[in-house]
Amino acid sequence: MRGCWAADPRRPYALQAGRFFDVVVVGERVGLETFDQLQRHGMPLGPVMADRASEQAGFFLPSGSQSTFGRMVQQEADETPEYRYLGEGSLVVVPGPMPLAGDRFVWLRAPMRRPEATVSRIAALAAMFVAASSVVARADRYGREQSGASAESEATHAR
């Protein structure tokens, strides 16, 4: 890996999840909102990456956090938002250490060291993920309602 990145620090690399880290994968819009809220409120946050081609974001958690994260998400939500949890046996394509803004894989927050296994970081991610999912869903509903109202208004004025 280091040899690969020495030759091309922008090159993505496949790493195995489950030993040193796990990854929560969410849609990019929800992921960007989650990331923004965690940063804005100064909440605990580990590495975060984005895959622009698949429009997904990945939040790195300590390995073995799946049941804790899942339980915390369920406690926060009436309806569990969509996410994938990548743990033992999963491969994760990560950005190189120096990606450019236009690259497919980019770090929103690059890893500085091995993530600490803190419950507060898992709880913060679960709470903000659920909140961000709700905000994005409401924004989508509002947009559909407004575009429907605009279409009706235009049809009325055209008559």
| Residue 69: closest CA among 13, 8, 25, 36 | 25
DSSP one-letter code for 131:
H
Number of compact structural domains in the chain: 1
- List alpha helices for the chain, DSSP H: 2-7, 28-40, 66-76, 119-158
Higher-confidence residue: 158 or 53? 53
Beta-carbon count within 10 A of 141 CB: 10
Mean pLDDT of 11-30: 94
Name the band, by pLDDT with cuts 50, 70 and 90, for residue 146: confident
- Residue-range definition of the domain harbouring residue 149: 2-158
Q: Give SS3 for 60.
A: strand
| Res 98 pLDDT > 70 | yes
